[in-house]
Amino acid sequence: MSKKRDVSLKWQDLEKRAGNDVFLSWSWIGNWLEIISGNVFLVEAVVNEQVVGLGFFVEKTRKIFGLFTIKQWHLHRAGNEKQDQIWIEHNDFLLDANISDSVREEMVRSICNFDPLVQEIIIGLSTSDVLLSCAKSFRSKSLQLRPLIDALAYRVDTKETYVDEVLSKNTRSQVIRSEKLLNRLGNLDFYVVTGTKEVQKSLESIAKLHIDRWDKTNEGSGFTNPSFKKFHHLITSDKGNGIAEVSILSLNQKPLGYLLNYIYKNKVYFYLSALTTFEENKIKVGMTLHTKAIQHYIDIGIYSYDFLGGDARYKKSLSNKKYLLSLGCFQRNNFLLRLENEFKDYKAKLKGVLFKVLTSIQ
């Protein structure tokens, strides 16, 4: 317990000097440590007796061709599908903002030297500049980047009146029409819930709606996953330091939709939604709710609203900035890994050829 407290104090002290996003806050990382399993390693960088870099790696193993076992290190991820369903984004080491690039470089070198048996180091979802910086340092140690996932992400950055100044003419007309149709059905209201008890009460309603919407799909609902549920119970409790807020759209005092947002360093991070659907497809609960939430945050002086990863049409329509998030695997120069990569590349090419053939036949 004392060791964890020492790490907590170090992390929170460095957090004050870092340019990190919410996913590297102690509110996120500290609660993530409560749900993961496996061997966890803390990498620490110190300059003149001051901590300037921190990062947690979880060690896992996997088999190549089902036979040969290799070690992996995952930065702020568990390497476990269930435990990673909370889906960290903007991932990086926690770094002193004044010397972030040089510290990141030294931390990469140190983890490469720590255990030569670690054959793969997985980092992400991270912005392009972070992965490129890591790739440069890993190359100096003969580790090459193999991309695993690329995801477009969207956000709103504006101090203007959102609907009139940011949205396109077409999107604006959809939002206005949706609100008019909802107003015809009764008393439409928007409000934001803060405070531990109120947020956790809303989370119960969010979970029910989310399960109803996603449980029978391929994606599934995280709220049926015990690790996901535990994490969000923790981060919306006092252990989350009040970063969670819920935006609610209601009709005749009955909630139609919820947005779970995390507020950190004067930015909003949209995490997930739970929405009622209407047969009338011109009623767009999600777009109406996001529009009101974005304007609410602008009105109180928060000018960045991050939709995070996912190339959903509504995110593109409601935002004015686009960026890329990626998950990358840095691999040592290992014969078995090279062979596996060649096999995977061959399968991908073959799949592409077959798809073209089938498309031409159809």
pLDDT digits (tens, 9 = 90+) for 49-90: 999 999 999 999 999 999 999 999 999 999 999 999 999 999
Could you give the 3-state DSSP secondary structure of residue 253? coil
Mean pLDDT of 192-206: 97
- Mean of all residue pLDDT scores within the chain: 95
Q: For residue 76, give both structure tokens.
A: 């702020």
**Beta pairing partners, 268:** 263, 305
Q: What is d(CA 121, CA 115) in angstroms, rounded to the nearest whole number?
A: 11
The CATH code of domain 2-142 reads 3.40.630
Q: In the chain, which residues fall in CATH 3.40.630.30?
A: 155-323
DSSP strand pairing (144-157 vs 118-127): unpaired
The CA-based angle 22-304-253, given to 5 degrees, is 90
Res 361 pLDDT > 80 = no
Name, in order, each residue with C-beta under 8 angstroms of 19's C-beta and a sequence gap of 6 or more: 95, 97, 100
Q: Compute how many other C-beta atoms are within 10 angstroms of the C-beta atom of residue 55.
A: 23
Q: For the whole model, what pTM was predicted? A: 0.94
Name, in order, each residue with C-beta under 8 angstroms of 70's C-beta and a sequence gap of 6 or more: 61, 62, 63, 64, 119, 120, 334, 336, 337
Mean pLDDT of 183-208: 97
Cα dist from 328 to 108, 112, 122, 339, 351, whole Å: 14, 16, 6, 18, 22
Backbone angles phi, psi at 79, to 5 degrees: 70, 25
Cβ(206)–Cβ(200) under 8 Å? no
pLDDT digits 0-9 by tens, 273-309: 999 999 999 999 999 999 999 999 999 999 999 999 9
Helices 226-235 + 196-214 axis angle, to 10: 150
Q: Which CATH superfamily is domain 155-323 in?
A: Gcn5-related N-acetyltransferase (GNAT) (3.40.630.30)
pLDDT digits 0-9 by tens, 139-185: 999 999 999 999 999 999 999 889 999 999 999 999 999 999 999 99
